[in-house]
Structure 1
């Protein structure tokens, strides 16, 4: 039996920060640990208690969600060298075929662009094209800066690694026009009204608002699906940047 304390959880948080884990990852791990801590009686933990918690999770959540929580707990256990407390993940049967009904097609992508153009939402219009023509992650959009648009490339720094992303010429031209229109002098191009880089929720919300007029199912419309489309049609999409909407 071991005893978990709040101090131990926050020491682990400091460790995750030193390991340069992303803010979202750290928040997720600590949230899962705090919920687990509240569930325990006085923080006392045994292997049987850990397995009981796994059973509780299994009754409430989908297997993938359960495994996500178990990953948070196992990371904490490993940090404290409680290797005998580690919990096995639930087995998830992988589907042999891709869920084509959830894939975003090129035609649907073009309809979303048209809907954004009609609504004069130039920000989401260009966000979608930037993701789809570069394969950049939503969390990396903050690296699309005024300097990056000028040079046609950006250095993405995440998790201690640096990679270069090239921006197609036509995309740069459209982004320069957008920068002039919004009077953006420096920093990230895609920002909120308060000047902060747009986040995943903001992009998701803007994309969902296009579904009805674009005639695209809502379950297909989420930022990461644009990266899937990029991966499937990389070479052609480089040449298919949509022209900027005329005023």
Structure 2
């Protein structure tokens, strides 16, 4: 009977069932971006299968094929999508383990956005007369808010100094400094924004993530900042590193960022290692140089 059930289950598992899985993820209150990524990864998995039946060997084969062109972190992200789908379909025995990774202590310098580079980006936006982009970047960097949460920065929040953010059913308070509130109130007066979200299109809809990314990339040349460092989420990382350098309180930082797992927060506090190198030099434990 168990063998017959497995046959029926294998027949049910197909690209057509992705719609049901997407609905399930939505019911689990996963973000739209997460759902989109999971479905994209699953389509890649089905493309690899080419109509073959799903079993443990097939999933292991896909995992090995990914190693030829993907980094371990990317592989594990894609495996998470497939393993979740296999759980959903009742094929738990087909799941595979993630790639083992040694925890990184430092980031590559070419990926770390410095405070000085952030200042250059803001100044470049101002010199172009793009006040909205300038204040948008400052809002992310001064609060640690996610791009998807910008819609919670409303006109009303500027008078309370607090924005209540709802992320996956979890409510947290994002504090706005007096300086940020003052700058945003001035922007709202200049643009006749009297209620609702501050950063929105002419018809009142939240700004598109891709448009923000594109606008920031357009500043790279005039700001003198490498394009690989310039994307909205890196501003959130800069907020995290700056806060942690002052407070050294990982638990509180996790709360401010809205992280459920403090291990995620540790990633946000990683730097290029330059300060660590300076500290080693100050120890002066090399006694002779030839």
Under a length normalisation based on structure 2, what TM-score does the superposition of the two structures give? 0.75
More contact order relative to length (CA 8 Å, sep ≥ 6): 1
Partner of 2:150: 141
Partner of 1:25: 34
Asked if 1 retains the 8 angstrom alpha-carbon contact of 2:110 and 2:228, the reply is no
Q: Which moved more, 1:35-44 or 1:176-185?
A: 35-44
Give the CA RMSD over aligned residues.
Answer: 2.2
Aligned counterparts of 1:53 and 1:229: Cα–Cα separation in 2: 36
5+ long unaligned stretches in structure 1: 238-247
Asked if 2 retains the 8 angstrom alpha-carbon contact of 1:132 and 1:230, the reply is yes
Partner of 2:62: 53
Return the match for 1:205 from 214, 225, 235: 214
Aligned counterparts of 1:25 and 1:143: Cα–Cα separation in 2: 20
Q: Does 1:107 align with 2:108?
A: no
5+ long unaligned stretches in structure 2: 1-6, 247-290
Partner of 1:168: 177
Q: Does 1:92 align with 2:67?
A: no
Larger radius of gyration: 2
Partner of 2:130: 121
Aligned counterparts of 1:226 and 1:6: Cα–Cα separation in 2: 37
Q: Which moved more, 1:68-77 or 1:216-225?
A: 216-225
Partner of 1:244: none
SS at match of 1:146: coil
CA offsets 1:200-243 (integer angstroms, 9 cap, x no match): 32222111111111111221212122122212223999xxxxxx
How many corresponding residue pairs?
237
Q: Which moved more, 1:92-101 or 1:78-87?
A: 92-101
Under a length normalisation based on structure 1, what TM-score does the superposition of the two structures give? 0.87
